[in-house]
Amino acid sequence: MISQFFVLSQRGDNIVFRDYRGEVQKGSAEIFFRKVKFWNEDGEGDAPPVFNVDGVNFFHVKVAGLLFAATTRANVSPSLVLELLQRIARVIKDYLGVLNEDSLRKNFVLVYELLDEVIDFGYVQTTSTEVLKLYVFNEPLVVDDTRMPPLGPASIFMQGSKRMPGTAITKSVVANEPGGRKREEIFVDVIEKISLTFSSSNQMTLKKGPGSEQHALCCFTAAFWIPPSTCDAKL
């Protein structure tokens, strides 16, 4: 059970923040980043993945230069929360194709929809990308993965070279083409009508429930055959 989830940039900017239970103060992200950034001043090296500040347990992992963190006041398994953070990062990466600050900011609506499906009131529901496809409907905005951040001193080894564009590695699981996702789905409008007839003594004398299905023109494979003149075919 976690109370808050947030993602911070290397500068400490709050990119994503979700408070599930309201048990921890709102400024927890600032407290967390300040503690992690100045941990070296105590001469103890880098901040551990789990630490406690004033009764609040902080958990964090660093993925693609971003800090994925969670807070709770409950006594939970550290390995469970750390694994959850890794899986959330993986799910977001699967949907966005590219995991960086720019992709998170441009797809914040999709990211929040994912978080609401993954965690409900602090409890984990699912971290399966395949399961989430049934409940998440927002489309990812494609981010140009060729615009990479500077490599610093390592850039001297990249002079005169070109970076290969990503294919399956940087491709969203729900975007088969630039225009958006393409699924094997049929959307059908089911229209039901109920007709009732009552007598003067409030007794029902007649009832009818006609219905119809309306769908746009669709094409099936050769293996799926429907008689041409059949109007009441069941799919």
Q: Output the pLDDT for position 139.
A: 84
Q: Are 186 and 235 in contact (CB under 8 A)?
A: yes
Answer yes or no: is pLDDT of 62 > 90.
Answer: yes
* Residue 96 included in any domain: yes
**Residue 235 within any structural domain of the chain:** no
| 108 located within any domain | yes
Task: Provide the domain count of the chain.
Answer: 1
pTM of the predicted structure, to 2 decimals: 0.64
Looking at residue 15, what is its pLDDT?
Answer: 93
List pLDDT tens digits, range 163-204.
444 444 556 666 554 555 555 556 666 777 778 888 888 887
Give the model confidence (pLDDT) of 64-122 as tens digits. Answer: 889 999 999 999 999 999 999 999 999 999 898 888 999 999 999 999 999 999 999 98
Q: What is the CATH number of the domain that holds 102?
A: 3.30.450.60
Nearest to 57 by CA among 34, 78, 79: 78
Q: What confidence category does residue 160 fall into, taking pLDDT thresholds of 50, 70 and 90?
A: very low
User: Is 57 part of a structural domain of the chain?
Assistant: yes
Report yes or no on 40 lying in a domain. Answer: yes
169 falls within a domain: no
E-state strands within the chain: 4-8, 14-19, 50-53, 56-63, 66-72, 119-120, 123-124, 189-192, 195-198, 204-208, 211-214
Q: What is the pLDDT of residue 211?
A: 63
State which residues form the domain around 84.
4-132
Q: Is 24 contained in some domain?
A: yes
